[in-house]
Structures are given as structure tokens and as C-alpha cells.
Homo-oligomer: A and B are copies of this chain.
Amino acid sequence: MTATFYDTPDEALEGVGDGASVMVGGFVSASSPTNLIWALKRRGTRNLTAIATNIGFGDRLDDLCEDGQIAKAIASFAVRASSARASRFEEQYRAGEVELELVPQGTLAERIRAGGAGIGGFLTRTGVGTQVAEGKEVLSWQGEEYLLERPLHADVAILKAHRADRLGNLSYRMAGRNFNAVMATAADLVIAEVEEIVETGALPPDAIHTPAVYVDRIVRCDPVEVRWDGR
């Protein structure tokens, strides 16, 4: 179905309820869907499972921890090796108030791709012989050990793209594809904030990174500046 257009990020989240699993696109500052994150905050949706490569590393996803909206995160960057400077998520994690599934970044991307591609699992060498292997099946291929990793799928994905056309096709800017383009395939409801909406046909067929078939809702928003100082 072609995408539906909303006037505000709050309206675009209509029906996203407590307990939802939410994939959050972006990588640190690059194409993070900050307007949609803040709309989730305003709406007060609680008990969320957030799936994102980072939480509390310059992104505003951590803002949802202010009022304890996140119950669990599945992430690759979530807790620093030292508590000298901690995000709200980290404080809550160290206090045992939130749950964390720490996933190698490549395994996270591939699990999300698998969730979107109908793959029931895949074998990777990443994590063999480490804590990541705990509780996972080990299978072999050509004499090497591989972990069987399982797909990730979510109720909702919130994304940030650069442009959308009226059909729902998305294109990203620079290094903005990152987890956005992968998560677009792996959620029941896919919501994108974009900087600009153009007429259908204005995006060249080769400049479309996320075909319209993956996108349910679109809202135009001015991008929010995000900076991370690397600490």
C-alpha cells in the first residue's frame, strides 16, 4: 500500500502503544529520527523495547529514559566500559532498572536484515568463543565454527530519511542509510521522518534506497542537530 502522510510526528505515531518493540534507525548523529523519538517522549509511550545500534552515544534515544519509557534495549553501543560519564540508560542499567541485550553491530544489522528477508537464522563467526555465544547453537561449515543467530523483527520502526516521494520511496543523505535502510524492511509499521517531500517520479529510480513497499507513514520535519563529542 502506498504511504500515508502526517502533519506532525506525534500524529504519525498514532496507535503505537505501551509495550511495543521499536526499531530506531540512525548511527550516532547520522540520520537519527530525533523528531519521532521526541514524539514518543511527548506521547509517554511506556515499557518499550528499543532496538538501535546505539543508545546514549550522542543520540536522543536516551531522552526516553528520563521518564523510564524504555524497559529493554537491544543494541551494540549502550554502556561505556567506565561509569565516569554515564547516559541515563547506563545509570538505569547499572541500577538494574532496564534490561540490555548487547549484540555485535554486524550481527545486529544482519539479524534485522534476516527479519526483513524471511531468513529464519544465519551462521556467523562473529562472537564464537565469546560471551555472545552463550546459549547459542554452534554449527560448522568447512571446518569452522559458526553461531546460529536468529532474526529480529519489531512492531514499529522509526526512521529518518532525506527525501520521500508521494508514493513512499525514500532516499538518504551521505552516511544516513546505516540502520535506517535495514530497519525499513523489518517492522510491521514503518514510520519515516524526512526533510523534504517531492513528487512521485522526482527521485531517480537509482537514487531510491528504500522502495515504497516498505514504508507505511511519512512526516516532514526539520532535522534536529545532534552532536556527539566521542566520549
Chain A residues at the B interface, C-beta cutoff of 8 Å = 110, 114, 117-125, 139-142, 144, 146, 148, 150-151, 171, 174, 205-207
Q: Which residue of B123, B174, B205, B207 contacts A121 across the interface (Cβ within 8 Å)?
A: B123
Asked if B124 contacts A141 (CB within 8 A), the reply is no
Asked if B139 contacts A121 (CB within 8 A), the reply is yes
Asked if B125 contacts A122 (CB within 8 A), the reply is no
14 A-B pairs with CB atoms under 8 Å apart are A119-B122, A119-B123, A119-B124, A120-B124, A120-B141, A121-B123, A121-B139, A121-B146, A122-B123, A141-B150, A141-B151, A171-B206, A174-B205, A206-B207
Contacts of A110 in B (CB 8 A): 117, 119
- Distance between Cα atoms of A205 and B125 in the complex (Å): 30
- Distance between Cα atoms of A166 and B45 in the complex (Å): 52
Asked if A121 contacts B122 (CB within 8 A), the reply is yes
Asked if B125 contacts A120 (CB within 8 A), the reply is yes
Known A-B contacts A141-B151, A207-B206; A125 and B118 likewise in contact (beta carbons under 8 Å):
yes
Closest 4 CB pairs of A and B: A120-B123, A120-B141, A120-B146, A122-B122
Contacts of A151 in B (CB 8 A): 141
Known A-B contacts A206-B207, A207-B206; A141 and B121 likewise in contact (beta carbons under 8 Å):
yes
Return A98 CB to nearest CB of chain B, in Å.
26
Contacts of A121 in B (CB 8 A): 122-123, 139, 141, 146
Chain B residue, CB-CB nearest to A174? B205
Contacts of A142 in B (CB 8 A): 120
Candidate in A110, A121, A124, A140 with the most chain B CB atoms within 10 angstroms: A121
Chain B residue, CB-CB nearest to A117? B110
Candidate in A110, A122, A148, A150 with the most chain B CB atoms within 10 angstroms: A122
Candidate in A119, A124, A139, A205 with the most chain B CB atoms within 10 angstroms: A119
